[in-house]
């Protein structure tokens, strides 16, 4: 069962209130129902959803609908902006101690991925921050947990401090910190046992470990698939030991990850890293905006809208449309369009932003050949002004010259000419259709086929 994203959900309500300049209270209320639905399906905690919706509604009512957006898109934009802001705006960096060693504690429920994350984090800190980490095996309860960390240490060629399963975790941590000082290892990462937040005895153990030397970071490791209970878990751990940040794991799955918002709201602690795979290097910094899009299930459509908004000149677009209709679209116009697309960013990134694109098989690794785009440009720039405006005059001789001038082959030139012709035909048809409905069309059909 695939969940619909918020954009799709809002489509129904969107049509009803199209063409209005301002969002009325009733419009917003209706749309907020869909927002509520989408957020709950994304596992955002009900109470968090409620307060969130209240906030967004206040912002949305009476707001002018931007020229280029429909009311629905406008609401999605507000929702996403608010969500992004809530999720932490700026990325936050890890805190290191001024006096060595830096101590980092990893805590969380069973099965959240603490041990794996401990290894990944150590790898990242060594590589990116030039630290010398010591892994500490303080999970003496789960069978073979120590063994797991030792294996990870071996894989990464990092030292692991362990004292077997008979030792007390508090003693292990204390000795590990001493050991790190003696060995001049500047970062101690303590892998604690998974525990339920309601287990008072084990929560006390965490407090005891914390009191050895105030850790510079206490990371709560949370499974991204966590549902409504995320608030209880995060709140309890924060209340008991005061976490400094969150690591969200298993984001390489297909969960929406609404837990991120819940946790962020109740603890107000930043999400610092996300786990994105089983490999030891699959730990990435957290991007609030991407997470917001993910929760709303809409790719990065809004950044795309925003990009298009800032980069496509309205007046020019109108002019173009006119040209489509009258078939006076030339290679010069085409070049201009290419430039606009290029300004929006690398093409494969734009592709990734399209909602649903992540579901298309093979596309996740799709690389758009930017050099192909350069080649097209070169061919056009090798044409004379006359050739650009009336491509029909391009005969075999001219083709040969263009190919030579652009460093391409006659086949390349032929292909571009044919595609340009096809494109013009299609645009004429489409703008004809759009003209009847009175809609603006700015798409470039056939553009994709140019880069394959």
Q: What is the largest CA-CA distance in the chain?
A: 87
Query: Which one of residues 80, 256, 269, 441 is an interface residue with other proteins (CB under 8 A)?
Result: 256
Coil, strand or helix at 337: helix
Site for other proteins in 77-116 (CB under 8 A): 109-113
Residue listed under structure tokens 């209880």: 232
- Quick one: which segment of 211-219, 256-264, 405-413, 434-442 binds other proteins (CB under 8 A)? 256-264
- Quick one: which segment of 227-235, 298-306, 365-373, 410-418 binds other proteins (CB under 8 A)? 227-235
Pure H helices in 165-199: 169-183
- With binding defined as CB under 8 A, does residue 226 bind other proteins? yes
Query: Which one of residues 228, 311, 389, 419 is an interface residue with other proteins (CB under 8 A)?
Result: 228
The burial of 433, by beta-carbon neighbours within 10 Å (0-12 exposed, 13-18 middle, 19 or more buried), is given as: exposed
- DSSP letter for 395, please: -
Half-sphere exposure of 402 (CA within 13 A, CB side): 30
How far apart CA 86 and CA 167 sit, in angstroms, is: 42
Q: Binding pattern to other proteins, positions 34-63, x when CB under 8 A?
A: ---x--xxxx-xx-----------------
Determine the Cα angle at 368 with ends 363 and 370, to 5°.
170
- With binding defined as CB under 8 A, does residue 66 bind other proteins? no
How much is the CA Rg of the chain, to the nearest whole Å? 28
Applying CB under 8 A, what is the total number of residues that bind other proteins? Answer: 49
Residue listed under structure tokens 């759009």: 434
Q: Binding pattern to other proteins, positions 399-438, x when CB under 8 A?
A: ----------------------------------------
Query: Which one of residues 232, 309, 311, 372 is an interface residue with other proteins (CB under 8 A)?
Result: 232
Q: Binding pattern to other proteins, positions 125-154, x when CB under 8 A?
A: ----------------xxxxxxxxxxxx--
Nearer to other proteins, 199 or 322 (CB): 199
How far apart CA 398 and CA 213 sit, in angstroms, is: 78
Q: In the numeric block, which tokens belong to residue 2? A: 């695939």
Nearer to other proteins, 129 or 232 (CB): 232
Q: Is the dihedral of CA 239, 229, 52, 244 positive or negative?
A: positive
- With binding defined as CB under 8 A, does residue 241 bind other proteins? no
Q: Tell me which residues touch other proteins (CB under 8 A).
A: 1-3, 37, 40-43, 45-46, 109-113, 141-152, 155, 196-198, 223, 225-230, 232-233, 250, 252-256, 258-259, 278
């Amino acid at each position: 069962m695939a969940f619909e994203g918020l954009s799709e959900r809002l489509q129904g309500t969107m049509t009803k209130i199209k063409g209005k300049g301002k969002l009325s209270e009733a419009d917003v209320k209706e749309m907020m129902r869909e927002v509520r639905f989408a957020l709950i399906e994304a596992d955002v905690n009900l109470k968090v959803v409620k307060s969130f919706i209240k906030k967004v509604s206040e912002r949305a009512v009476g707001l002018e609908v931007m020229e280029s957006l429909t009311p629905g898109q406008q609401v999605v934009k507000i929702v996403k902006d608010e969500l992004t802001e809530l999720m932490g705006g700026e990325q936050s960096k890890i805190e290191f101690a001024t006096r060595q060693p830096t101590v980092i504690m990893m805590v969380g429920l069973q099965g959240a991925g603490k041990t794996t994350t401990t290894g990944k984090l150590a790898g990242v800190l060594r590589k990116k921050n030039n630290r010398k980490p010591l892994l500490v095996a303080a999970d003496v309860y789960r069978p073979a947990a120590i063994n797991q960390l030792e294996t990870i240490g071996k894989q990464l060629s990092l030292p692991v401090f362990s004292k077997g399963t008979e030792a007390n975790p508090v003693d292990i941590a204390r000795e590990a910190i001493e050991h790190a000082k003696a060995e001049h290892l500047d970062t101690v990462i303590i892998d604690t046992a998974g525990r339920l937040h309601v287990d008072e005895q084990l929560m006390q153990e965490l407090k005891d470990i914390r009191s050895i030397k105030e850790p510079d970071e206490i990371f709560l490791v949370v499974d991204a698939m966590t549902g409504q209970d995320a608030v209880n878990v995060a709140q309890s751990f924060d209340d008991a030991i005061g976490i400094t940040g969150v690591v969200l794991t298993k984001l390489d799955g297909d969960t929406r990850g609404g837990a991120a918002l819940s946790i962020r709201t109740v603890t107000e602690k930043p999400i610092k890293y996300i786990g994105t795979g089983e490999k030891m290097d699959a730990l990435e910094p957290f991007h609030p905006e991407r997470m917001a899009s993910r929760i709303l299930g809409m790719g990065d459509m809004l950044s795309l809208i925003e990009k298009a908004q800032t980069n496509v000149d309205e007046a020019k677009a109108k002019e173009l449309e006119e040209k489509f209709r009258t078939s006076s679209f030339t290679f010069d116009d085409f070049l201009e369009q290419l430039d606009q697309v290029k300004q929006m960013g690398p093409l494969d990134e734009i592709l990734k932003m399209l909602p649903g694109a992540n579901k298309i098989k093979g596309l996740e690794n799709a690389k758009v050949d930017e050099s192909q785009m350069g080649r097209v440009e070169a061919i056009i720039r090798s044409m004379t002004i006359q050739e650009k405006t009336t491509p029909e005059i391009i005969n075999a001789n001219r083709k040969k010259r263009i190919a030579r001038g652009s460093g391409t082959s006659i086949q390349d030139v032929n292909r571009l000419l044919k595609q340009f012709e096809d494109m013009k035909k299609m645009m004429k048809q489409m703008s004809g259709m759009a003209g009847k409905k009175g809609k603006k069309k700015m798409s470039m059909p056939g553009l994709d086929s140019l880069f394959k």
